[in-house]
């Protein structure tokens, strides 16, 4: 089923795009589609939706591509199963495979941001014949690691709790976020954006002292320039309707993913690839070693870019620059 989308606004739609629900093994996936040409699948991260690609859809369509942004399982208008293990990586890859097939395509380029970057990487790793090129925004590609993730995260931060560990217990983070979804999202988006990050002496919002909440260290001030009140309304309305459990369940599957993907220990991605990070993004700076290892782990890498003065929400903060890099790379990949 599909319907044309009206102009961008509080409904979270993009002018000229079409909204569609497609069947997948785990239910249905909502997607937003624009343009014709080679398929480019766009995968968002936490806590976002397909709306985070609102600037890329028209740009990629104009460049000659069929741009499709999905709501990942558990987000937006897509199905949200109850079971925590329904959000393991293998299930999300299966969703991507089913979306490509439902759209009548035999191959796709996959582009992801934040958790979407990891989902894109594992889609390309597990189904290389289907996902023939991959781009990663903010979170670098890193192969399977022999350290169990929850054990590694538990060792980060000393006396303070790393946010991934904080998210592990079902209901705990929801109890912080869901009484004031809009306020929490505003603080989280602002704290990870260039120009509005909290001062260093306030402490990192990624680490939670005993008895505290993540939001205690969020920036308090105006929204970043890339995020309008209307944009915040779009995100807030979706998460007020769905809750945050679907998104948080991605973090609660890191050990299951580690077990499921152990067979890919040492595997490299050979497809043409691209990385774009922000110089002020912790996801990029923490994983500098992963970027340095790209000659070995991404032998098909076309180019890697760090955008100076950019935070985490890269395709929204610096849309024009990201669009130019994506289009140039896509034209290289597709001739």
- Pairing label, strands 18-24, 2-4: antiparallel
Cβ atoms of 48 and 61 closer than 8 Å = no
pTM higher than 0.75, yes or no?
yes
- Residue 326 sits in a domain whose CATH number is 3.40.50.1820
| Best CA proximity match to 312, nearest among 264, 278, 265 | 278
- Mean pLDDT value across residues 295-321: 98
The tally of CA atoms less than 13 A away on the side-chain side of residue 196 is 21
pLDDT tens, residue by residue, 99-142: 999 999 999 999 999 999 999 999 999 999 999 999 999 999 99
Pair 326, 60: CB distance under 8 Å = yes
Catalytic residues, by residue number, are 114, 312
Rounded distance between C-alpha atoms, residue 213 and residue 79, angstroms: 29
The least confident of 61-65, 161-165, 253-257, 265-269 is 265-269
Q: What is the residue-averaged pLDDT of the chain?
A: 94
The predicted structure's pLDDT at residue 11: 47
- Which of the four pLDDT bands, split at 50, 70 and 90, describes residue 14? confident
For residue 69, report the phi and psi dihedrals to the nearest 5 degrees.
-105, 130
Domain encompassing residue 100 = 2-334
- The arithmetic mean of pLDDT across residues 47-76, rounded, is 98
**C-alpha triplet 129, 132, 138: angle, nearest 5°:** 130
Range 270-301 burial, b when 16+ CB lie within 10 A, else e: ebbbbbbbbebbbbbeebeebbebbeebbebb
Q: Does residue 4 surpass a pLDDT of 80?
A: no
pLDDT of residue 218: 97
Helices of type H across the chain: 56-62, 89-102, 115-126, 149-154, 163-166, 172-177, 181-191, 229-242, 245-251, 254-260, 282-285, 288-292, 294-297, 314-317, 319-334
Cβ proximity of 47 and 247 under 8 Å: yes
* Residue 144 in tokens: 């399977």
* Confidence class for position 32, pLDDT limits 50, 70, 90: very high
User: Virtual CA dihedral for 294, 295, 296, 302, nearest 10 degrees?
Assistant: 70
Query: pLDDT tens digit string along 206-228?
Result: 999 999 999 999 998 899 999 99
Structural domain count of the chain: 1
Which has the minimum average pLDDT: 11-15, 72-76, 184-188?
Answer: 11-15
Provide the CB-side half-sphere exposure for 137 (13 A, CA). 29
Give, rounded to a whole angstrom, the gap between the first and last alpha carbons of the chain.
32
Average pLDDT over residues 291-319: 97
- 10 Å CB burial of residue 263 (0-12, 13-18, 19+) is exposed
Confidence of residue 162 (pLDDT cuts 50, 70, 90): very high
- Rounded to whole angstroms, the Cα distance separating 301 from 271 reads 8
Under 8 Å between Cβ of 134 and 121: yes
Q: What is the pLDDT of residue 312?
A: 98
Compute the average pLDDT of residues 73-89. Answer: 97
In this structure, of 111-120, 149-158, 236-245, 293-302, the range with the lowest mean pLDDT score is 149-158
What are the tens digits of pLDDT across the range 244-295? 999 999 999 999 999 999 999 989 999 999 999 999 999 999 999 999 999 9
With 0-12 CB in 10 A as exposed, 13-18 as middle and 19+ as buried, what is 210? exposed
């Amino acid at each position: 089923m599909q319907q044309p989308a009206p102009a961008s606004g509080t409904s979270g739609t993009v002018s000229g795009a079409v909204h569609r629900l497609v069947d997948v093994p785990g239910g249905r996936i909502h997607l937003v589609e624009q343009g014709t040409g080679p398929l480019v699948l766009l995968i968002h991260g936490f806590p976002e939706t397909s709306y985070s690609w609102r600037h890329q859809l028209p740009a990629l369509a104009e460049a000659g591509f069929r741009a499709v942004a999905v709501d990942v399982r558990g987000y937006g208008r897509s199905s949200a199963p109850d079971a925590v293990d329904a959000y393991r990586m293998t299930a999300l890859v299966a969703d991507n495979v089913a979306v490509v097939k439902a759209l009548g395509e035999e191959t796709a380029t996959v582009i992801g941001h934040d958790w979407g970057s990891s989902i894109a990487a594992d889609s390309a790793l597990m189904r290389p014949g289907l996902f023939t090129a991959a781009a990663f925004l903010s979170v670098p590609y890193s192969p399977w690691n022999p350290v169990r993730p929850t054990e590694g995260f538990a060792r980060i931060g000393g006396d303070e709790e790393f946010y991934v560990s904080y998210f592990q217990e079902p209901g705990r983070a929801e109890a912080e976020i869901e009484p004031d979804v809009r306020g929490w999202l505003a603080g989280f988006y602002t704290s990870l954006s260039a120009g509005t990050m909290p001062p260093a002496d306030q402490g990192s919002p990624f680490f939670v002292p005993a008895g505290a909440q993540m939001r205690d260290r969020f920036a308090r001030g105006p929204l970043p320039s890339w995020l309008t009140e209307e944009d915040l309304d779009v995100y807030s309305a979706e998460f007020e309707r769905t809750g945050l459990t679907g998104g948080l369940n991605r973090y609660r599957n890191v050990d299951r993913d580690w077990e499921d993907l152990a067979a890919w220990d040492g595997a490299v991605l050979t497809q043409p690839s691209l990385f774009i990070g922000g110089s002020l993004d912790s996801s990029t700076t923490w994983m500098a070693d992963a970027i340095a290892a790209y000659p070995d782990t991404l032998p098909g890498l076309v180019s890697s870019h760090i955008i100076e003065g950019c935070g985490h929400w890269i395709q929204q903060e610096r849309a024009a620059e990201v669009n130019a890099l994506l289009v140039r790379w896509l034209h290289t990949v597709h001739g």
